[in-house]
Amino acid sequence: MIFALDAESLNQALDWAEKLRRYVSGFKIGAQFFTRVGLQAVKLIQDVQSRVFLDMKFHDIPFTVEEAAYEAARMNVWMFNVHCSGGLEMMKRAVRGAERGAKEIGQPKPKVLGVTVLTSLSDEELEQIGFRDKAESQTLRLARLALSAGLDGIVASPKEIPLLRRELGQNFLIVSPGIRWEPASNEDQKRVSGPKEAVLAGANYLVVGRPIRDAKDPVATAKLIQEEILNAENK
């Protein structure tokens, strides 16, 4: 489990990190928190001896993404992501930038993930954007492109994982957002799943945010979700 650290301040983030680090494999730092506090967000998580998934979804011309990937690697993050829809060359350059940055600081290359189709998008919304395929087909196409580019894995909805595993095998890393524990109000995610279903489908990591943050007892909820994940892994 990776906790989505959408905090309002460094103090709030530190509180979440200290409460949850024993139950998670790392913390996701996204655009909201990183834009608010910058590199301090990454350092805070590393200082509590945990790992950072930098969720900035780089999507630009190949040169710019390579340089962004280089800087992400120099932060010594565990994982970061780019949009697969940026194209094959852009993704290849992201890997190259990550390798260059990691070599400079003498650390392993971060895992580079490709974002396929956002879990907030429905088939109808994809059609509005101009994609001819539905979410499942579009996800598979982009995942194959990410594999060809040399990425370590993808970010994909739990709904598409069974197809991805059948077509791409077991060795490609799949990180799944859109994990829900209980029915949520004001839901902006469309293609979601419970943790057990996502793990049984073949997800390597689950990104969980609101089900823990909005719970009456966040720590107890994190523990329950972790237990469900472990039980599913042992089946």
Q: Over the stretch 16-64, which tens digit does the pLDDT of each residue have?
A: 999 999 999 999 999 999 999 999 999 999 999 999 999 999 999 999 9
Nearest to 153 by CA among 189, 116, 191, 179: 116
Residue 24's domain comprises 2-233
Check if 57 is active-site.
yes
Nearest to 55 by CA among 75, 28, 78, 86: 28
156 SS3 class: coil
Both tokens of residue 192?
């979601």
Q: What is the pLDDT of residue 189?
A: 54
Alpha-helical regions (H) of the chain: 10-20, 31-37, 39-47, 62-74, 88-105, 123-129, 135-149, 161-168, 195-201, 210-213, 218-233
Both tokens of residue 6?
């959408």
Both tokens of residue 214?
């909005």
- For residue 169, the tally of other CB atoms under 10 A from its CB is 9
Both tokens of residue 56?
């900035």
Q: Rounded to a whole number, what is the largest CA-CA distance in the chain?
A: 46
Q: Over the stretch 175-224, which tens digit does the pLDDT of each residue have?
A: 999 888 765 444 555 556 889 999 999 999 999 999 999 999 999 999 99
Give the C-alpha separation, 198 to 97, whole Å: 31
How many domains does the chain contain in total? 1
Among candidate residues 57, 92, 196, 223, the one labeled active-site is 57
- 98, 74 contact by CB (below 8 A): no
**Average pLDDT taken over every residue of the chain:** 93
Give the C-alpha separation, 235 to 230, whole Å: 9
What type of residue sits at position 194? G
Nearest to 25 by CA among 225, 234, 231, 235: 225
Q: What is the pLDDT of residue 188?
A: 53
Give the C-alpha separation, 190 to 186, whole Å: 11
Query: What percentage of the chain's residues is helix, strand, coil (to nearest 5)?
Result: 50, 15, 30
For 88-112, what is the mean pLDDT?
Answer: 98
Alpha carbon distance, N-terminus to C-terminus of the chain: 17
Q: Can you give the CATH number for the domain in which 189 is found?
A: 3.20.20.70
Share of the chain above pLDDT 90, in %: 82
